[in-house]
Structure 1
């Protein structure tokens, strides 16, 4: 039978061998960076050992520490050599398997520990804790390294557990080196207990050097943009989270795309044996080496050119009809499974309520081109970065921007229509075409986004002022609270501070950058006012009160005039203030010990009650709230459906979030009808169902998981 061998060479993509060679070239870079700091590392470890031996009260442990200290001090050259050798070997081994799609076990995975000694368990915990601490300390460098390695491997940014240069590898290599350096198990456990991030190898220098080495080798990635894209692609971390949804996802895919015994075409198997190749799509050349029937491929091309897919009303059924129309002898079970699996994916897309029906019809026209891609390149199912897969995802996400009121006159609708038409007309075997149209569509969306940002410049400026004022109010409330909580503030004065002086402090905090003296003046006036109402038990204190009162009252009135407090309550407040000052002046100078005790107990009781009340309020604020967490995690670009009081639902994009996340600005796609909402109001809307977040996760990812719940036979 006539077949077409397809060895897909994708533009700007590393081959398997070049990926491995590039990563292998980084092993000596890392080893040299480690070697350059081994002397300093040994010095830190030596000092730590000596400190333990000098301070330990247990003689046996002190002796062991001192012996280990002496061993390391006298044999530092051997120590350098062994550690460098073990790290080089460990990194080389990790790099050799990094491209085999190996699924790494998480550190917390359940293991049988029935035969594990306590010491071994403790060593495992210590190792894990050190690795996690190093990951946290080097998070920025590791994220950049993950992104660059993922770029080389043509995957989304890999996780730390898949990084061949992760901290765990350096720790394990060092422990292996120490076993070779000193076979005493007690010293091994001692050294592991001493290892802390400040003592261990300074991996920040290593990771910085590796990132620079990638750049020198031409691996140029916009790290900030890659981080943003990773967030935009959904709340999933994509492949890893999909595997947690269905941990056997990849195995299921491999099973349905593996040839059954006796189902490989004889002439194909013979040709492949002569070339030393495996008759499996996962052989020496991976999923890039496949063969399909020429007659069936030409039949698909003819359907594509006729654009018959666009006229089909039952889009999902149409793909299945292809396998029924073709001669069963022409299609292998892999071909049939490919068609069935892709049909299920399109079924899922067509059933998604967030995609307008007109856009579904346009996406439906991509069924034949996508099927041709999937038959040629099974990476479509395995790689979420596959160009054809990214196109479907991008079209689905773009349709969210249109909402249910999409019209053919909308520029975005016309852009989507043009993308689909270009793929229909131009696609044959060049998968790079999908990358090109995705780039065009993303550039169009970015231009629209820039226009929207210009349109909301005024609402953003207003929201910033509102947030600044809200934060100033919070600072003012705290200034008053810490003084009231002492229990020494009279009841009428506490009411005054909470209702009026907070307004003054809010203004002072709001203008402190331009007028720092205003805040200092307002705080000093408040403190003087509180001091003036405390008992004065000496003639000197009373003289000081009399001398301070005129200036204090002048400042007090000036501030109250600034906030225009002219109600009758102001007259009543100053009347009580004058009465209290007069009472303080007339009170006996010396109080009996019993009276002093009563006053002190009363103050302490009031202070305790106020602190307790504030603690209860703080605990209430900190109570777990799924809606608060949802709003706090919202990122710019997400879409939310808002339903108003007349049950009309409108879709808006989150266009801006204030620096302190107290205000959010939503807008239509082009920046029209924008509105600002506080975080508290937004939480309430989500809680009551008046706001609903539109899913941002990859529709193909979700469709694939659903399609494989019951895999094709």
Structure 2
């Protein structure tokens, strides 16, 4: 049985119910506090595992290694939640076992030493060496705090424990990690990488783990006389590799020249919506326009009170400005209003963001975040009217870059931990905190964010190419499988053969032929030899009534048996699994088939087992849904929205002919969906599939707003 860490029973007796009920309250507090930190550490581990494995794949010197690391990335993503769940279950079970300590009840504790036993594999030896080194580093660095925690637990429970039995000790934490990782189908190199990440993101913060646990116990009077040793500064993670995070590159880009003439043309259209920003006062003195400089100050004030993305109240910029103008007017005794040109800018920005926040290409999760950019964008437009005329304006480019990057983002529950969300949130917050009147910050943030997205695109392009290569290989394999099935059916259908021979050909020799074709091709010696052996096998079991042919069989039998065994070996079949067939084959060559292995007529065609496709009704060639499906092009972004709980954004990576299989990938380049053209057509028809416009968001918004303004002007 597979075992990542040796486990030995301490006592043998029947467990009694509710072990948690016996644990002191302070110990439950220690457990819950530690669980929070360990959960955070595991999340950091998995958040960074993707980057680490990608770098390994990028540096791989062979296609095999390249594939191994990419498959490991996929496996980790699929099994992450289960991994974290099992780890936390093991942690809670270990604390529960403390309630049984000293009561003659069974506990399972890993042996401290992970030295490999004689006869273990090389992989196990490598893992044992890595584990022993990790445990040694933790003991050397945090041994004092760990020892004090173990002593306090012993005093609290009235039972002497050692560090191995401490649920927060490195031995048990490693054991939890190894057990949680048993579901991962990864090779030893990936396991060692995961162990290194476990040390970096979990064990490196053990001093904080032990420090907080000791503080809780001391606060309740458990061995307060034990003096704590020096510790690292809280919040500073150890960096065993001596690596430091590199600063992102920065660069300033000049703003475009003012586009007053172009803005004047816009103003002619905006007259129809003027009067929407004014103080709510009774008509009195002549209105006094507020200067652009003072308006910018009011906006900078409002900028500090833009609600967080999670806030339920909508932030209406024009309404907020009206309230501010009212307060200023009351305080000054004058009716302060916004100048006509500035109001036009306010209305135009408000209409642009109204389009942006209703655009399907922007995921709902990011709309509130992008909506917080409204005041910074308004201030830029007030400072520089060329903002509306120049597509190369850094503020516009920043907005477009953000929108283009989030378009392929699919909803997730823990979006607040998503790297992309955090990066965009950082950009938005910096603008709200730092942008007063110097628009150079947009150039700076654009450069930084573009560097981030360029790196993401490089990674996703590489993964997407890997996905296409994998799918092409799969298609080739399917074609070969069909070729092998055709070969077998031509030789078996309609023939009367022993049941065991038919089963052997369909279950075992089909794999021999498949691998021979995939590895060497149809013109190869290996493929031809496999067919010849198949023909000789079928011929050999039909000779019981032919004495002359039987004598020929005796001459050819040794060669046939050797060819069969060589073929099975080439396909990595276990000799023990095929022993029964050769026993039966020997009997068939000596006598006619008996009742246990009677003759059957092969009537059903042989097919390789495959996942059946979702059945769909045929559609006429002129069906609108099929027309929409045919319009999809590689690189198109779509959203599958079957229901509120299942929304998937993905990109068409390739169309596999002749089956017309559409392969879709996520923003990261990994395959997430495969649909036939008919399935896509039906999804279009029922409204579950929509294409996303991938043009620059600001330009699309401006075009839509101008169209709306022209329509309003025509209706006057």
TM-score range, shorter chain: 0.3 to 0.5
TM-score of the pair, normalised by structure 2: 0.37
TM-score of the pair, normalised by structure 1: 0.37
